[in-house]
Amino acid sequence: MSFDVSHPEVQDAVQRALAEDIGTGDITTNLCVPAETKATGHMIARQSLTLAGVELLPLIFAGCRVALSSQSGDHLQDGDEIAVVQGPARALLTGERTALNFVQRLSGIATAAHAYVCAVEGTGCRILDTRKTTPGLRRLEKMAAAAGGATNYRIGLFDAVLIKNNHITAAGGVPTALERTRSAGVPVEIEVRTRPELDEALTCGATHLLLDNLHPDEAREWIAHIRAFDKRRATVELSGGITLENARAYAETGADFLSSGSITHSARAVNINLRLELLR
């Protein structure tokens, strides 16, 4: 998923953010700064980070000249320039916080995703994002995760089947749940909690398995069992309790994917500033 700023959800998110902040008008800026004053704003990274969301700046600073020095996915160091914005000082001051909120937050997600990707480098295991996102900002946050190197999983409940433990309970068991999703026309993944459920899923031809809350040693044992049972090699995702510190241990179990909600729900905003200079 690239940073498609033309997507209606992205456009709406930016407009809602601006309306939330500006309301009936930026009274401080409008009182303090003459309308004719021109300025240049330099957006600068103040730490090591993976950038995301900079492509939103032309939407936020509409009517200003925006030159992007970096793009989403770039790895920056303290002092690296991200963008230069030139136009009315009022426009730069009014859009400053919205711009920083988006780029700091989204770059925090990209930075977290990149850290996980680096942690499993060389294992062949890929990092997945989840639906544990800020309500209303999922598309942007998944774009940010992808900018950091994570693989986007389903965007919502509509584009893939994920049969979890409560679905299995409500459906009446693993075989029934899988049978009812055979004609879905989208990828189907099933979470299994016990070895009997695992064997049921394999017997029913499951092609994508989610193993949750296993210790790495348990995960390795289960995956070896899956490989011995299923010569077609069902793909395996591990989730639950996965952190930067233990991600490599999980990746070395032979799993195809690791998923971690912390990439989006616990990402820490990075340090970026916007330095204003008046044009003479």
Q: 158: which 2 tokens?
A: 């509509």
Q: Which of 197, 212, 221, 252 is catalytic?
A: 212
- Torsion on CA atoms 207, 128, 68, 280, rounded to nearest 10: 150
What stretch of H or E contains 49?
strand 49-50
CA atoms in the 13 A half-sphere facing the CB of 220: 9
- Numbers of helices and strands, H then E, in the chain: 11, 12
Residue 212 annotated among the catalytic residues of the structure:
yes
268 is annotated as an active-site residue: no
**What DSSP string runs through 124-153?**
S-EEE--S---TT-HHHHHHHHHHTTPBP-
Catalytic residue among 38, 132, 180, 220: 132
Q: Does 275 participate in catalysis according to the annotation?
A: no
The owner of tokens 């996965």 is 242
Q: Which amino acid is at 135?
A: P
Three-state SS for 64? coil
Options 55, 96, 129, 191, the catalytic residue: 191
- Of the candidates 38, 46, 131, 164, the residue annotated as catalytic is 164
Beta strands in 77-231, from DSSP E residues, in sequence order:
81-88, 126-128, 161-163, 188-192, 208-212
Is 97 annotated in the active site?
A: yes
Query: Which residues, 6+ apart, have CB-to-CB distance to 269 below 8 Å?
Result: 104, 105, 107, 108
Catalytic hit among 38, 97, 180, 193? 97
Can you tell me the distance from the alpha carbon of 114 to that of 247, in angstroms, rounded to the nearest whole number? 13
Catalytically active residues, by annotation: 97, 132, 164, 191, 212
